[in-house]
Structure 1
Amino acid sequence: MRSALRGAIGVAGFLLLWEAAGHAGFAPQNLFPPVSMVFARLGELLATEEFLREIIATVLAWLIALAVATGIAVPLGLLLGSYPAVRRATKVLVEFIRPVPPVALIPLLIVLIGNGPETKISLAVFGALWPILFNTIYALDELEPMYVETARSFGLGRAAIMTRVALPNALPFIFTGVRISASIALILVISVELRGGGTAGIGYWMLGVSQGIRQMDLVLAGTLVAGVIGLLSNYGLEWLQRRLFGWNEIAQEAR
């Protein structure tokens, strides 16, 4: 409760500074509108079907990308974490591909697969893959050997140990990777939309309204919506993680 109150005070202070700066005359209000003007335009936008459809397009692409990244990264992480030989054989390739900035691939993907939602989803999958993958591998590295030996003593094979011992133990770490990847995926989806890699979404809408210099209030309103989506997703995933894996926090405190 106390942390939430402090967070609310920080947000209120930021908004007050924004409002004061908007009226201080440092820049024309058409370039730097006060927050009251931005919220007024945001209220108007949320009442229009067109803008709501743009939000839905971005959120759907983000959810699909996050689900696909999780579906790829978790099995791949289990494989690389369970078989050291495979991990060593692919280490150079993984470390070569991982640092590639996803936004640098936007022109290539537009040429290869077009200007549809597939482009932003593919780039978001690529960027969101790595935190989940490495968190899965790290979780298997931290797996208590006694758990594995106990499972073997009961006659469980490698596949059963992976699904019934390793995966449940790794789930809290995997979920932390999903939380990190959720932010990355949202940033990439909107970034690709802003670069023209899509025909719908908040970023695509902002790209259109930014062509007029007197529409900065609309651009900032779209930015606020993107920030709120990211904030709500992080808090929602954090709450879900506590509900699902509260036992892991208790176990760590008991050590």
Structure 2
Amino acid sequence: MKRTGRRWEWGLGALGVLLAFAVCEVVSRAGIVRRAYLPPASEVLGRAVELAGDGLFLQYVAETLRAWALGLGLACAIAVPLGLLFGSVPVVDAAVRAIVEFLRPLPSVALIPLVSLLLGSGTETKVALITYASVWPILFNTVYGLGETDPLAKETLRAFGFGRLSVLLRVELPGTAPFIAAGIRISAAVALVLAVATEILAGFGEGLGIFIAQASLATDGTRDVLAGVVWAGALGLVINGVLVWGERRLFPWTPAHRGDGVTE
């Protein structure tokens, strides 16, 4: 039943994409919007497919994915231990809460000039900004997950003489893992947005955002801009799909994924 439901959702999603494609195609070809501003969707999609055979463009995509992976990996390495610390030691959480709440709302793109001055105009700047933006969903999901851990299981281990570290490793960390995975999935999307946006706004280095920025300066570059956007959206869709698949395989007992193996 669950699998049938997912197929229905995928079918509706595909229908929505086709409808949006058709609307953009009709609006452009009917002259409702000038082609200079909105080329037909078929031309944009054709250009996006054509770019798959462009070696230089693929290098740009690979550079964006490299910065994305480095930034997301650093965010995980920072946020998970800090989240476990904040969630396990209330005194530490209270001490740093004001600092965290001050830093969290700061938009990463606003830090581009400062980070560029400190780190230069290389990949380090992109990675730093991606890491900064990606830390927060993982951090707060980890803290929240610890708070949702079964108190009876923790008390049972303590009653049998297990120490604080053993309780953390045997109960709290496994119970928090699905929340951490959800935070990573959210941060993966944030990281991709920051990778492309930083390249567009900073205007340096290589990457998918640089391709989009350069295309926007061309006389007739709208088609290339939209083709780059299609690539960015496709990358985000693939990344999210892979992470959702991983969550279903690793944590099938969670309410969101329970029953995924049923084929009725």
Structure-2 residue corresponding to 1:79: 85
Unaligned runs of 5+ in 1: none
Pick aligned residue for 1:43 from 39, 49, 53: 49
1:116 lines up with 2:131 in the alignment? no
Question: What code does the residue aligned with 2:115 have?
Answer: L
Q: Which structure has the highest helix share of the two?
A: 1
Under a length normalisation based on structure 1, what TM-score does the superposition of the two structures give? 0.95
Pick aligned residue for 2:64 from 21, 33, 58: 58
Structure-2 residue corresponding to 1:248: 254
Structure-1 residue corresponding to 2:34: 28
* Structure 1 position 251, deviation (Å): 10
Structure-1 residue corresponding to 2:229: 223
Q: Distance in 1 between matches of 2:209 and 2:128?
A: 16
Deviations 1:101-157 (A, max 9, x none): 111001111111111111111111111100110010011111121111122233222
* Structure 1 position 250, deviation (Å): 8.1
Structure-1 residue corresponding to 2:205: 199
Pick aligned residue for 2:146 from 140, 143, 150: 140
Structure-2 residue corresponding to 1:184: 190
1:234 lines up with 2:234 in the alignment? no
1:95 lines up with 2:101 in the alignment? yes
Question: What code does the residue aligned with 2:18 have?
Answer: A
Under a length normalisation based on structure 2, what TM-score does the superposition of the two structures give? 0.92
Provide the secondary structure at the position in 2 that maps to 1:210. helix
Q: 1:25 to 1:252 in 2, by over 3 A?
A: closer
Q: 1:87 to 1:197 in 2, by over 3 A?
A: farther
Asked whether the equivalents of residues 55 and 202 of structure 1 are also in contact (C-alpha less than 8 Å), the reply is yes
The number of residue pairs the alignment matches comes to: 253
Q: Distance in 2 between matches of 1:205 and 1:67?
A: 25
Deviations 1:229-250 (A, max 9, x none): 0111111111110110011228
Q: Which one is further off, 59-68 or 75-84? A: 59-68
Unaligned runs of 5+ in 2: 1-6, 260-264
Q: Distance in 2 between matches of 1:252 and 1:94?
A: 34
Pick aligned residue for 2:215 from 209, 213, 218: 209
Question: What code does the residue aligned with 2:138 have?
Answer: I
Report the identity percentage.
42
Question: What code does the residue aligned with 1:66 have?
Answer: L
RMSD between aligned alpha carbons?
1.6
Question: What code does the residue aligned with 1:190 have?
Answer: V
